[in-house]
Amino acid sequence: MVEPELHRVTLPNGLRVVLAPDSAAGQRAGRAPVVGVSVHYDVGFRSEPEGRTGFAHLFEHLMFQGSESLEKLAHFRHVQGSGGTFNGSTHQDYTDYHQVLPSEALERGLFLEADRMRAPKITEENLRNQVDVVKEEIRLNVLNRPYGGFPWILLPPVLYSTFPNAHNGYGDFTDLEQATVDDCAAFFDTFYAPGNAVLTVAGDLDVDRTVELVQRHFGDVPAREVPVRPSFAEPAPATELRGAHSDPHAPLPAVALGYRLPDPVGELDAYLANVVLAAILTDGDASRLQQRLVFRDQLVVDVHAGAGLMGAPLDARDPDTFTFTAIHTPDVGVERVIGAIDEVLDDLAAHGPAAEELSRVTARWSASLYREHDRVISRTLDLGSAELLHGRAELISELPARIGEISADDVAAAAKAMRADARAVLEIQPTGGAA
């Protein structure tokens, strides 16, 4: 993979711009004539005020409901009519909007993002409609699905104690229904200022022309005051914390363990050691927990370990979460599962991974990263989130080398930090009779 050369511009209104053109060598190697355009806003689940759970995600939906100059669904038609694709997503610390377009349609994509950054159409009709859409999404993905919200919604209230870290980012129905147009307008004015965003353009682009187009479409978006980002830090647990959740749709019991991760910004190498640890534990049939819990002892039917509460590493600022999840049969008590995980962690803490094991895992992780970044949408989104969270979009190109420098001692230290007296344990208890 040919790494992109990055170019930065900051507009007078505060918008930060990162451009990542394909190199000439990359184009000759067969790069498609496409561009990715993304805007990352520095607002996510953790920015929601109390009494307004799910508001960041609800507002993501509202940003697709037209603007002061374009009617509802016009954004969809313009992107799809150009042969492109689009979407948005809400995370703990940011919300992103993105599209992939033929390179000749770059200006159209920039116009559309600038247009809704300037003035989305926030009306009572749009709000009520999208509240209903979000509620249906919650019913589909959480309330009526086995293990819905497990662990990303259900585990944080056990591990964390403050509202930003512990609340349900998908939203409580009562909170969603009480949202008003004035609430939405205030949320937009506070968090959707150009100075609170990063625009990323990657792929088949000319830098000078792209800068001119960005200035043309985003330059007159009014500057507004940018909120001071609060710290969401809170003390780590001083004892094991326990919780339980009844799931009427779950066919089998399950358990999740949650641990605090090192600061992904201030302690990046220690954080990456946990990324490697997760891969050693559950990445592939040869991994430690797959071998011990699934194949040898047959304690569980599924087990997973991961750095990052939302399922991917480096997707949030501090505090972030390392999770284990395991689904087991009723005759296998939850303590046997936890005990087996602890034994595997203790062995890694005492001896570290074997050299061949470490090499295999880091090589697989790096290859996966290269493969992902060969897709323009993944490259665009990761550049934008790295610039927003770390202030360094270059980080995505450095990760394979930094992962390769993680040693067996680093992994052992990460395993040793996962103490029983500093974790959360969440049990899923089936109540539908299937078990």
Residues 38, 261, 285, CA angle at the centre, nearest 5°? 85
Instruction: Respond yes or no on whether the N-terminal peptide bond of residue 151 is cis (omega within 30° of 0).
Output: yes
Question: Which of helix, strand or coil describes residue 122?
Answer: coil
pTM of the model: 0.95
Contact of 75 with 86, CB cutoff 8 Å: yes
d(CA 322, CA 327): 17
Rounded CA separation 324/389 (Å): 25
Domains located in the chain, CATH noted: 7-218 (3.30.830.10), 241-430 (3.30.830.10)
Angle between helices 355-373 and 376-390 (to 10 degrees): 110
For residue 37, the surrounding DSSP H or E stretch is strand 34-41
Residues near 208 by Cβ (< 8 Å), separated by ≥ 6? none
pLDDT of the chain, 435 residues: tens digit per residue:
456 789 999 999 999 999 999 975 444 455 689 999 999 999 999 999 999 999 999 999 999 999 989 998 899 999 999 999 999 999 999 999 999 999 999 999 999 999 999 999 999 999 999 999 999 999 999 999 999 999 999 999 999 999 999 999 999 999 999 999 999 999 999 999 999 999 999 999 999 999 999 999 999 999 999 999 999 999 999 999 999 999 999 999 999 999 999 999 999 999 999 999 999 999 999 999 999 999 999 999 999 999 999 989 999 999 999 999 999 999 999 999 999 999 999 999 999 999 999 999 999 999 999 999 899 999 999 999 999 999 999 999 999 999 999 999 999 999 999 999 999 999 999 997 543
Burial class (CB in 10 A: 0-12, 13-18, 19+), 73: exposed
Residue 432: phi and psi, rounded to 5, are -95, 0
Alpha helices (H) along 9-68: 24-28, 55-62
| Radius of gyration, CA atoms only, the chain | 23
